Amino acid sequence: MSILSLFGGGRAKAPEYPSDTLTARDGTQFTIRFFSHASLAVSVGEKYLYVDPVSGHAAYASLPKADVLLITHSHYDHLDRAAAEELLTPDTEILCDRTSAEMFEMNCHTMRPGSVATPCDWLKVEAVAAYNTTPDRRQFHPRDREDCGYVLTIGGTRIYIAGDTEPTPELRALRDIDIAFLPVNQPYTMTVEQAVEAVKALQPAIFYPYHYGQVEERTDIDRLVRELDGITEVRIRPME
């Protein structure tokens, strides 16, 4: 069923970071680079999009500058002004939730759940609500703060980067997701059971667990892979 082809390897500009190069529905090749935790990059040719860059996760000053910068929400492990400033140029398009927008001096596309933006001709971005639903976890990511996940459309392929969330009605309503990044760490985001539930709802061709580690309770990634065997392709990359 896969509409994606893995070619492997990263571009020469950032050889030190693990990467997957894939082919979108229309034949466009794009590369996903994995830094750590919730920090990653997507590139199309010489165009670069960074998601939630955080100092210490990558040597951002030595990487290509950002054409697009996405911030899901204002927590320290997602919004780091120092890391962002190493990537920004006067032409960088910044898309972020409304709380994070208050922390940038540059103009931003303020994204709220349901917002749609086309910051450049190769990218469409749809904001999806990201919040906790379990009563004793709602204080971590309250719904009314309007944190965001994003669906990126590149060459017709839809990539869902969920941000910090549990399975929500908005997540379950998403359709035609080809690649999904879902957070799996406790007590702040999804349990293994919830991640399995979310993957079954989304039915992506490829699932990347991310945003795990860096907390006391370790995520049972092996169990996650086992429970999704035969349901989707689970790719484990060094995001812990």
How do the domains of the chain map onto residue ranges? 19-234
- Distance between CA atoms of residues 202 and 180, nearest Å: 8
Q: What is the pLDDT of residues 139-163, one digit of tens each?
A: 877 888 889 999 999 999 999 999 9
Tell me which DSSP letter residue 192 carries: H
User: 219 near 212, Cβ under 8 Å?
Assistant: yes
The 3 state secondary structure assigned to 127-165 is: EEECCCCCHHHCCCCCHHHCCEEEEEEECCEEEEECCCC
- 206: Cβ contacts below 8 Å, ≥ 6 apart: 2, 4, 178, 179, 180, 232, 233, 235
Stated pTM of the model:
0.90
User: 123 near 93, Cβ under 8 Å?
Assistant: no
| Beta-strand pair 123-129/148-154 | antiparallel
**What pLDDT band is residue 15 in, cutting at 50, 70 and 90?**
very low
CATH 3.60.15.10 for domain 19-234, yes or no, is yes
In the predicted structure, residue 14 carries a pLDDT above the cut 70: no
Q: Both ends of the chain: CA-CA distance in Å?
A: 29
